[in-house]
Amino acid sequence: MDWIYILDPNKDTMDGEPSDKETLRRLAHQRPELDLWLSRRNRMSRGDRLWFFFSAPESAVAAVAEVEGAPYEDPDDPDFSYRVEVILLPEATDALYRNPVGREDLQLGQVRSVQKVKAQALPVLRERAGL
């Protein structure tokens, strides 16, 4: 299964750093393991892909990770009660960084924090990521 994970670089952070495409690209090479918040349990499984959609300054997917395991509960965080561990894919993230997939190619309607990738958007995501 493939998922879109929405990041707003103006308000979201990654370990205290801006959640922009430059930060995720650097992390893909230096510290690719991420532990991400989820507002609800999604039916993610090991091997699923998580495509990072940056809402600003350009609305586009410019990074990708592989899910390491099913989401798990985090009782210590009332705002984001679930977490999921992923590993950023460096080469695919580099390819997407150079040639991001825009909102029009994704056919996104209302943007939620995490949603399934539409089947018709998957070929362009895979092609641009070199997967």
CB 25 within 8 A of CB 53: no
When the pLDDT of each residue in the chain is averaged and rounded to a whole number, the result is: 88
pLDDT digits (tens, 9 = 90+) for 102-119: 888 887 766 667 888 888
pLDDT of residue 27: 94
* Helices 122-129/90-98 angle, 10° precision: 100
The per-residue pLDDT for 33 is: 95
Q: Which residue has the higher pLDDT, 13 or 63?
A: 63
pLDDT at 41 over 90: no
Which residues are CB-contacts of 90 (< 8 A; sequence separation ≥ 6)?
A: 28, 29, 32
pTM of the full predicted structure? 0.90
Q: CB count, 10 Å around CB of 79?
A: 7
pLDDT of 16 strictly over 90: no
* d(C-alpha 108, C-alpha 83), whole Å: 24
Q: What percent of the chain has pLDDT over 90?
A: 52
pLDDT at 53 (0 to 100): 93
Question: What are 53-96's pLDDT values in tens digits?
Answer: 998 888 899 999 999 999 988 777 766 678 899 999 999 999 99
SS (H, E, C) the chain: CEEEEEECCCCCEECCEECCHHHHHHHHHHCCEEEEEECCCCCCCCCCEEEEEECCCCCEEEEEEEECCCCEECCCCCCCCEEEEEEECHHHHHHHHHCCEEHHHHCCCCCCCEEECCHHHHHHHHHHHCC
For tokens 């009660």, name the residue: 81
User: 112 or 2, which is more confident?
Assistant: 2
